[in-house]
Amino acid sequence: MSHSAYVFDAYGTLFDVHAAVRRHAEALGADATRFSTLWRAKQLEYSWVRSMMGRYQDFWTLTEQALDFAFQAIPTADPSMRAQLLDAYHRLDCYGEVPQVLKKLKDSGARLAILSNGSPTMLAGAVSAAGLDGVLDEVFSVDPLRVYKTDERVYEMVTNHFRIYPEAVSFQSSNRWDIAGATAFGFRTVWINRTDMPDEYHDLPPNAVLKDLNGLTALG
Secondary structure, 3-state, the chain = CCCCEEEECCECCCECCCHHHHHCHHHHCCCHHHHHHHHHHHHHHHHHHHHHHCCCCCHHHHHHHHHHHHHHHCCCCCHHHHHHHHHHHHCCCECCCHHHHHHHHHHCCCEEEEEECCCHHHHHHHHHHHCCCCCCCEEEECCCCCCCCCCHHHHHHHHHHHCCCHHHEEEEECCHHHHHHHHHHCCEEEEECCCCCCCCCCCCCCCEEECCCCCHHHHC
> Catalytic pick from 9, 58, 143, 178?
9
Active site residue 9: yes
Just list the catalytic residues: 9
